[in-house]
Structure 1
Amino acid sequence: MDFGACPSLIAVTSAHPVDRFEAPAGLNEVPAAVGSVLDDFFGRAIPHAAAIDPVVGDSATMLREFTMNGGKRIRPTLLYAGWCCGMSESGRPTAPGDTADPAEALRAGAAIELIQACALIHDDIIDRSDTRRGRPTIHRDIESTHTGAGWSGDAAAFGVAGAILIGDLALSWADDLFHGVGVAEELPAGTLRRGVARRAGAVWAAMRTEVLGGQILDIVNESRGNESVSAAYRVMEFKTAAYTVARPLELGATLASGSPGLIDALRSIGHDLGIAFQLRDDLLGVFGDPEQTGKPSGDDLVAGKRTALIAIGLNRAGATAGGELRGLIGRQLSPDELDRARSILIDVGAVADMEQRIDHLDERAQATVGALDVDSSVRSELSALGHRLGHRQK
């Protein structure tokens, strides 16, 4: 894919010696490029943490392993797609000081991965999950360390406390990495980059607030037993759609000085693809193959989550089936009980309803992508990536 103004080799400049990373030739190469940025960052950050005390270094290393192990790098890939849209936009203005650099997009994408690490670590605590990506969750891993070492106190509480702090460290380091991409550095007054720094920082700040706000809505809806589909969608708007797709696309385009019209279009695309992504996630949470997803199937039911799938199922079910389904939410389930819950969701039409919603959102997003006034190869890659978000199997 030819990005025109995108150089084939990019220089990442900081207070440290210049590092060089190959610029991705296509969106499929973004995960590896972002992985290189993360590896470089951890290589510099972990020794600083270890200098406080070896146990702090151990916690930082645990964060590194969690962040680098698996993960699809969806958010940084979408951010880079937004950056490519902005860079290839027809009639894109250039001006003195317009030094848009792919390194900014890659570092911002790596920073989002650290926010994602924080979100997953904390989410696993909230959901009381035992595994993530086929391995013990961070809090369970720390709990095992406590137990194995024979330390005093409650091992489970120690695991939770340690995981909370590691998640907090990830969030702190995300800001450090983002504000080192160049968008927050001192720049000559009046240059385009100063304006980009201000706009990108605003998007970043909004995204952080939205993902935490969505999580708050999620736990409140779960505790209230809120069964409305609109409430489930409200959680998706902020916990997933904005944070996973819309804001990364917007942030990438902002770093590339994309036009307001392009950014509005990318927000619309991100909203639709983000909702489709979460609807698919809801289906995988109940019907997914654990070997593919890395999590036990049925976890959402056991955790009592009021996902769109559950809300649609309860709203479509009659009194008998609805009562039975409610009795299978929020507790440990035997294999037969899990199969029964799945059967109810299929029989009342909730699964078919979800598939129709995903297809509709994908079609609407694809139409907006097709109308983008950007390079055709960028459109093609964004279209393919967007379709996969709603139709993946893991």
Structure 2
Amino acid sequence: MRVLVTGHHGYIGTVLTELLRAAGHEVTGLDTDLFADCLLGPAPTGVPALRVDLRDVRPEHCAGFDAVCHLAALCNDPVGNLNPELTYEINDWATIRLAGAAKAAGVTRFLFSSSCSLYGSGADDRPLTETAPFAPVTPYGESKIGAERSLTALADDDFSPVFLRNATAYGYSPRLRGDLVVNDLTGHALLTGEVRLRSDGSAWRPLVHVQDIAGAFLALLTAPRDRVHARAYNIGSTSENYLIRQVAELVSDVVVGSRITYLGAASADLRNYRVDCDRIATEVPGFRPRWTVRKGIEELVEAYQRYGLTLADLTGERYQRLHRLRALRAAGRLDSGLRWTDGPTVSGGLRWAEGVR
């Protein structure tokens, strides 16, 4: 298939692009490259790329593709809280603009990277299925709900959206995110000897490895249309729901000599939910998660050591998405709408990624 991956230079997109190519698909990326140079380890092989802001996508940018894997967004709750209106503009409204352009161009399958954050605060300890009521506690979660609802309204015989409600991601990607809980706790344990909890650790959270998220996209790309059309799937494993303090204990166990600490007057996290991932296990047999949190922690330790991760990078602008955006704003390289002020035009046409001709 010819596949357009938005956000291909992000944390998940970098892994997904490689997996799609390995499976024989023809991949083009679409990104404004806010995080393209935020690398840990060597840069992956490039792919043809459209350097286009998501808010500027037109049907001609989507022409010739069989499917869109839509990852591009302002990701995670702290970044979403930076400017709620901008979060809705990019994560919700620009998603619908993209979907409308894709539909007009004849794209038939649209895989949307949603989030379990839309569940927000679960009513009780039972794992939530895809039919559970939404209870978002952040603009990020609300923006995913709005996008899912609008995409559902676009669904018809010619345009088939599918919603991947990803659990909280973790694991090594060449474009690392240090602001994800497992990645953060593991990095601090390795570099400082402390597994630093910013909450009291009492909240539940479903967790999924970045490679398993990519595997779900790959499986849903070619799953029978009548089975997945306009369906939502919790992405992960039902067995991989953890209390945050359990994650800290696993990190402390893997990183020998580290100890759990609490920063300041640690309080409960409002985001507290478990999810049931049985629907995708039943309906999409081509997807089988391969990772557990413990295996992921071991992988991260090996990658951090191999590539020489430093504490300054882990906590600074290279791997903290919010810090990165603030630094680019402070340097005058991004305007208040998070558009480049000093780079090539981002509303133009096809450009080739480095190393590709």
Looking at both structures, which has the greater relative contact order when contacts are Cα pairs under 8 Å and sequence separation is at least 6? 2
Pick the structure with greater CA Rg.
1
TM-score between both structures, scaled by the size of structure 2: 0.29
Which has more helix, going by share of residues? 1
Which has more strand, going by share of residues? 2
